[in-house]
């Protein structure tokens, strides 16, 4: 099994590179400095119909495969990590709807997410219940045909910007994980928001506390049955973590590209520093780690597309997310080092890359939690085959069998929107930054 991109995916990647360079990257530094929402970048993504990639065709989306969605996340993050997570958060918020909600709820919300009319957020973490989800205190009490929500959620991406909030609250505190229930809550139902956090990275993506004070939620907006919330949350994170890995790869690739270009122009000891072997080896190691992380992310995404036939997704998603985010942190730190004192200033983007990379090791499950998942899988042989033998088989088969990820027919229809960017790039002679390819 190999993870070379098929023709459509390569074309889409090339379109995304030109689009990001023109419409997204130019705004990244300013929004980072001002800590403001990248509205023009989001609007450009909507004009490109990118939100539709993450929604099934039956609900007005393009129904793109997960590898294509990972390409989108990576290329957006290469230009602006905040814009990347702004696109990803609505998918995260809607995954419980796609997989567990009633048909009425799906028909009501998913088409509007696909069109970019509304955005969604995912409300799981609390001030004292991050990794320890069972300790959540947000309560939902049944009252006739409604549930009444009280409590708050912390570290919520797009707090105050999103129109809907997928909220996990306890309906039976004594049951811990078995007492958690999931709800879809509209902002207009009385949801309140505290001030946004002043963050180190992803500063253009608003993060804040979401507060529920006697917020009434119709029972029709309960997702799944009472007590199924924890399983829904874990099912969702398994399917979203690989795209956080893709975001991390985009940040790392941006650092590799920028450092490589900088080294060709910066001179020391009478020659470009790109000719100094020690620094060339640093850059090579950065590229190697980034490419390895990309392959692992594609592996996890392909497993989602295949329906997780071996029950390996939890392991692969955790491995992809943790390895890619650790890689991004390492690669961006090395990029700062390669630029020396200039890398430590805000006049150059590598310090922003490093700040943005850090959160990928923390959100959607810290890398320590990912290692717990991985270790549990490695110590258990009953759920699926030995992960080491699986990875060995993957390494061998990648040399023998080409594997093309299917892309929906509706995705091809998006060329009417994307084609002008291809033509503009060809006409101007603009090319994407060089990078290592998976062949």
Backbone angles phi, psi at 361, to 5 degrees: -85, -10
CA–CA separation, 407 and 64 (whole Å): 6
**What's the chain's length in residues?**
439
Q: Is 193 helix (H, G, I), strand (E, B) or coil?
A: strand
Cβ contact 165:94 at 8 Å: no
Look at strands 207-218 and 146-157 and give their pairing. Answer: antiparallel
CA–CA separation, 79 and 99 (whole Å): 31
Name residues whose C-beta falls within 8 Å of residue 365's C-beta, 6 or more positions apart in sequence.
Answer: 131, 237, 241, 318, 321, 373
CA–CA separation, 273 and 62 (whole Å): 46
CA–CA separation, 285 and 334 (whole Å): 10
The DSSP code for 45 is H
Active-site residue among 8, 364, 385, 437? 364
End-to-end CA distance of the chain: give it in Å, rounded.
12
Question: Does the annotation mark 364 as catalytic?
Answer: yes
- Phi-psi category of 365—alpha, beta or left, where left has phi over 0 and alpha has psi -120 to 50? left
CA–CA separation, 247 and 269 (whole Å): 37
Joined together, the tokens standing for residue 252 give 């790392």
Query: What positions carry a catalytic annotation?
Result: 364
């Amino acid at each position: 099994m190999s993870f070379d991109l098929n023709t459509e995916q390569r074309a889409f990647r090339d379109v995304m590179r030109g689009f990001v360079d023109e419409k997204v990257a130019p705004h990244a530094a300013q929004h980072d400095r001002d800590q403001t929402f990248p509205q023009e970048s989001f609007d450009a993504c909507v004009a490109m119909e990118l939100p539709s990639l993450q929604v099934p065709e039956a609900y007005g989306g393009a129904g793109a495969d997960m590898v294509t969605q990972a390409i989108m996340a990576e290329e957006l993050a290469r230009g602006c990590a905040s814009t990347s997570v702004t696109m990803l958060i609505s998918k995260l918020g809607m995954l419980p709807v796609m997989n567990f909600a009633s048909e009425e709820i799906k028909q009501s919300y998913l088409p509007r997410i696909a069109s970019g009319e509304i955005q969604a957020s995912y409300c799981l973490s609390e001030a004292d219940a991050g990794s320890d989800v069972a300790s959540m205190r947000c309560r939902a009490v049944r009252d006739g045909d409604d549930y009444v929500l009280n409590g708050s959620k912390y570290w919520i991406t797009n707090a105050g910007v999103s129109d809907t909030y997928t909220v996990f609250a306890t309906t039976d505190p004594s049951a811990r994980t078995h007492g958690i229930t999931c709800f879809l809550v509209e902002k207009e139902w009385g949801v309140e928001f505290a001030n946004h956090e002043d963050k180190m990275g992803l500063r253009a993506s608003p993060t804040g506390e979401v507060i529920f004070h006697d917020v009434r939620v119709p029972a029709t907006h309960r997702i799944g049955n009472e007590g199924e919330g924890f399983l829904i949350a874990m099912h969702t994170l398994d399917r979203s973590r690989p795209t956080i890995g893709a975001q991390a790869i985009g940040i790392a690739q941006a650092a590799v590209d920028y450092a490589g270009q900088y080294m060709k122009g910066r001179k020391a000891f009478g020659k470009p520093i790109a000719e100094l072997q020690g620094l060339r080896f640093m850059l090579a190691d950065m590229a190697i780690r980034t490419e390895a992380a990309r392959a692992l992310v594609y592996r996890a995404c392909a497993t989602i597309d295949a329906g997780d036939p071996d029950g390996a997704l939890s392991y692969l998603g955790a491995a992809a997310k943790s390895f890619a985010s650790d890689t991004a942190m390492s690669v961006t730190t090395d990029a700062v080092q390669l630029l020396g004192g200039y890398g430590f200033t805000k006049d150059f983007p590598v310090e922003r890359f490093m700040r943005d990379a850090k959160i990928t090791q923390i959100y959607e499950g810290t890398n320590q939690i990912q290692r717990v998942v991985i270790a549990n899988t490695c110590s258990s042989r009953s759920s699926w085959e030995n992960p080491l033998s699986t990875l060995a088989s993957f390494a061998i088969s990648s040399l023998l069998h080409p594997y093309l990820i299917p892309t929906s027919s509706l995705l091809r229809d998006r060329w009417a929107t994307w084609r002008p960017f291809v033509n503009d790039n060809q006409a101007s002679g603009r090319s994407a930054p060089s990078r290592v390819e998976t062949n």
